[in-house]
Amino acid sequence: MVCADAPIDRPHRESTMNATRPVTKSLAAALALAVPLALVGGAANAQRATAPAGHFDVKGKGPSTYTLDVLERSRATLPFSDTRDFDEQKRGFIAPMTELKIRADAGHVAWDMERYQFLLKPERFDTIHPSLDRISKLNMNYGLYEVIPGIYQVRGFDLSDISFVRGKTGWIVIDPLTAAETARAAVKLFQQHVGKGLPITAVIYSHSHGDHWGGVRGVVDEADVRAGKVQIIAPRDFMRHTISENVYAGNAMNRRLFYQYGILLPASPYGHVGQGLGMNVAAGAIGLIQPTKVVEKDIEEFEVDGVKMVFQNTPNTEAPSKMNTYIPDMKALWMAENVTATLHNIYTLRGAQVRDPLRWSKYIARALYLYGQEAEVMFASHHWPRWGNARIQEVLRGQRDLYANMNNQVLHYANQGVTINEIHNVYRFRPACSGCGSTAATTARPSTTAAA
């Protein structure tokens, strides 16, 4: 090609122009040939870009061969033959929640279990990691359950569970979910089958994350709290950390939460499948009633509506303000969110304070020493209980060791020069970790989406 502004040697102009004619003809021929080729190639690309059947996006893609291979290896190597979680998840079932959708007071849908029904189909999904598929199926426990006589849970109404403990004059609620509407629906189901119309006399917030206190106004009336009819109990520094996370950094953390959990994705084998701790976060009215009693000491014992309870503050574990609770007369150990059926992340993408895994493991060890020697049931703010002292000790030891191992091994690799961008390629959990929680899930790599 000759630039129009380039100097031209006039004596040779004619010969130059003659010389370019065959090139121009060749270029034209090439272009003419390229047009149908481009069309054919474009059609081929368009055909390759066609989304798999059932995909929510027309540009969506199926899993690559590499991904399929990874999932297949996980199916072959993880201990899916251990079905104890499924047995424990079903135990104590009393009644289902018949309404798959719960409406918010504002008119929209606050909670929707209908869209996750595909998980109950007896088929294998090549687009979902088998561990995520497993925990999501387990989290489809939508209804009312008995933990032991006197302790009940409503599960599947929110990211967390709501628990009811029989007091002398009424019911003690532990962790009233995220939203008033889902909490109110849970109380209604509970009262229909078990509650006998007795009032709620106390509410315990286990820690400062919103899915453990945000639905309190659907459970009790603030006027009754102010009148002294209802006690609200929380761990040390609860209000400080609740305000810090949900007010000062609230907008930023909520925005990042949508990305961390993929909340806006449609529920499907190609989209949202669950969040590990539960299926999703309720989209209703969030409220807070200030605690009337704060557990200040490391270990503190007092009665709540006639029930003796021992509270163990566990700060800077899964949350900066947190506590476990032991009910000695029932031999029931409440482990809040310190021990559930998953392995928690340590650094959350939504921006919660970085957890201290070594401290976490030590608090679990202390709970095992103080209460785990005699507890006969262990329940928590997510998932399902564990029954029998041997099983409780197995799970406590396994989770204790997981968090300690994570701390120790990461430090070990850091001292060898492994960087933050490399650690996930070299770190592995201990090969033998029986009873670490949801056993098929916790032997995989850490997940950034499994926990709040």
pLDDT at 128 over 70: yes
Rounded CA-CA distance 95/184 in Å is 16
Per-residue confidence band for 369, with pLDDT thresholds at 50, 70 and 90: very high
- pLDDT-derived band at 440 (thresholds 50, 70, 90) equals very low
Q: What are phi and psi for residue 305, nearest 5 degrees?
A: 45, 50
Cβ pair 232, 205 in contact under 8 A = yes
Least confident of 70-84, 103-117, 240-254: 240-254
Q: What's the CA gap between 130 and 116, in Å, rounded?
A: 16
Give yes or no for residue 309 having a pLDDT over 50: yes
Mean pLDDT of the chain: 87
If you average pLDDT over residues 294-316, what whole number do you get?
Answer: 98
Domain ranges of the chain: 77-442
Rounded to 5°, the CA angle 180-309-294 comes to 60
What would the CATH number be for the domain defined by 77-442? 3.60.15.30
Query: 436 falls in which pLDDT band (50, 70, 90)?
Result: low
What's the chain's length in residues?
Answer: 452
Predicted local confidence at residue 430, as pLDDT: 66
Phi, psi of 94 (to 5 degrees): -110, -50
Q: Say which DSSP state 352 is in.
A: P
